[in-house]
Structures are given as structure tokens and as C-alpha cells.
Amino acid sequence: MTENRTMDAIHRNILKKFHTLCSALGLTEAEKRAIVESYGVESSRDMDTHDLINVCGKLSEQANEKVGAGEMDKLRKRVMAAIGAYLKAVGRESNATVIKGIACRATGHADFNKIPRERLRNLVAAFNNKVKDAQAVNEIADGLLLQSYFEYGRPQAKA
């Protein structure tokens, strides 16, 4: 029973990805319908999960080609900047090798240049949010430190 729920969830997620990629590529309803009907079904919901995975892979390649190499390089630089800012916010030293390693480990890819566009965008958002969170925590901690200083007075040195 749980296998069916798991498979249904996987199928729904891949179906969402299919429609997202179709939108990103600007495919019309007729073009989507042509893709779906080429698999002998009337609706994308009726497609086999493996067929959906294959179609999504091909559409993803087309989306990456559409973006172009220059835009992918800019996105990779944004990822490196976001991770570098996070490492700086938490007081860690970093260099390009460390940053690329973190990005690869976070996405499960062996090569930084092979990380797909969607995952790069996710990394930028995730690490920018981490920087904002770290700054908010530091502001709260600094505020509490000042508050305790004024409430309890200056700490006295022990003799």
C-alpha cells in the first residue's frame, strides 16, 4: 500500500516538472498535446512514469540550451558569491575550490559545471536565505547582550 503512495507521489512530482518545463520552454497546448499523444495517451497524467522521466530529461536539456552558456556562467558566479557570503557570515575561510565543493555536495553532482540551472537557482536562494538568517540571529544575540549589560551592569573583573 505504501509503495503505491510512494509511486503516486513520484509520478505527481514528475508530472509537475513536465508542466513546469513546458511552461519554461513556452510550449503551446498543441505542442504539449503532441508530445503526450506520441506516447499513445490522451493526458499527461496517463503517461508512464518512466516515459515522463525521459521527456523531462529531453525538455530539461532544451531548457538549458535555451538559457545559453553565458547565462549559465553568470548563474554559477551567483552561486559562488552566495556560498562565499554565507561562509564569510559564519566566519569561515573560503576559496573557489571549497565553494565549488560545497555546491557539488549540496546538489549531489560530481562536477560543478554539470549542475543544472534549476539546482543552481535553488542554491542561490538557499544560501542567500542562510546569510539573512545568520545576520538576524547575530542582531538578536547582540541586542540581548546589550540588554543584559544595561540590566545587570558592567561585568566586574574577579580579583
Q: What nine digits make up the cell of 115?
A: 549542475
Q: What distance lies between CA 128 and its chain's CA centroid?
A: 11
Domain borders along the chain are: 2-67, 70-152
SS3 state of residue 132: helix
pLDDT(8) > 90: no
Cα–Cα distance, 129 to 97 (Å, whole number): 22
Cα–Cα distance, 73 to 69 (Å, whole number): 6
Burial class (CB in 10 A: 0-12, 13-18, 19+), 134: middle
Backbone dihedral angles phi then psi of residue 118, each to the nearest 5 degrees: -60, -40
The model's pTM is 0.52
Q: How confident is the model at residue 149 (pLDDT cuts 50, 70, 90)?
A: low
> pLDDT tens digits, residue range 79-88?
999 999 999 9
> pLDDT tens digits, residue range 48-107?
999 999 999 999 888 877 767 678 889 999 999 999 999 998 889 889 999 999 999 999
Residues 49 and 7 sit within 8 Å (Cβ to Cβ)? yes
Q: What angle do CA 16, 21, 22 make, to 5 degrees?
A: 100
Residues 100 and 110 sit within 8 Å (Cβ to Cβ)? no
Residues 63 and 117 sit within 8 Å (Cβ to Cβ)? yes
